[in-house]
Amino acid sequence: MNRTARRARPMALPVALLVVAAFAVSASPAEAAQKAIVTDLDLTLGLYTVCSSSWNCWLNPPYIGAKADLKAFANNGYSVLYLSCKSSSQSAQQKTWLNYWGFPAGDSLAIGGLLGCSDTVKQKCDVIKQYQAKGWVFHFGFSEEDSNMQAYRCAGVHHPTKVTSPFWWTTVSYSSLEAGHTA
């Protein structure tokens, strides 16, 4: 055996070990998935969920319990997608409202045109599917509207959950929702 062959041979083993190690530590698709929730805003988290500055945010408080439940989801590893059909021109005001009231960080989208969404089911379903393509797995979807429930089902959200009144959030908790027991 010549010298070149001897030097090349020992290198083959470390390279092979690196390849095997890379496969051993790579996450499975289920492990790489980001668990998430999606929620509508108006009439789900509060009556009217926009404000232009902190001086008028106090006029539009969230429903009692909504912020605490969403924070519990976030504290337990869920990403939050705030998805509304408000005019996209109101996106900044929607974010201002969420920040003012201390809702957990998340992606906040207002996807409507001048008069809102022209097809709520399709538009929201499409946005949720875009997030799913990035690895988000939606376990819950919250809204008071039937069209949003349809959008959540269209996108395969595991538990589309109807918010039935402004007091609904006070009748549930993160742990009851996570356990599959909704009021």
What is the pLDDT at residue 183?
43
With 0-12 CB in 10 A as exposed, 13-18 as middle and 19+ as buried, what is 163?
Answer: buried
User: Looking at residue 21, what is its pLDDT?
Assistant: 35
Write out the chain's pLDDT in tens, 183 residues.
555 544 444 444 343 333 333 333 334 444 457 999 999 999 999 998 988 776 788 889 999 999 999 999 999 999 999 999 999 999 999 999 999 999 999 999 999 998 889 999 999 999 999 999 999 999 999 999 999 999 999 999 999 999 999 999 999 888 888 887 444
Crossing angle (nearest 10°) for helices 120-133 and 146-155: 30
DSSP H helices in 26-145: 29-32, 54-57, 66-75, 91-100, 120-133
Q: Give the phi and the psi of residue 71 in degrees, each rounded to 5.
A: -65, -40
Q: How much is the pLDDT for 178? A: 83
Give the start-to-end residue ranges of the domains of the chain: 29-178
Q: What are phi and psi of 122, to 5 degrees?
A: -65, -45
Burial of 114 (0-12, 13-18, 19+ CB in 10 A): exposed
- The dihedrals phi and psi of 38, each to the nearest 5 degrees, come to -125, 140
- Per-residue confidence (pLDDT) for residue 2, from 0 to 100: 52
Nearby residues of 62 by Cβ (< 8 Å), 6 or more positions away: 45, 46, 49, 101, 103
In this prediction, residue 175 carries a pLDDT of 87
pTM, entire model: 0.80
CATH number, span 29-178: 3.40.50.1000
Give the pLDDT score at 112: 93
CA dist., res. 178 & res. 145, Å (int)? 21
Residue type at 92 in one-letter notation: A
What is the chain's length?
Answer: 183
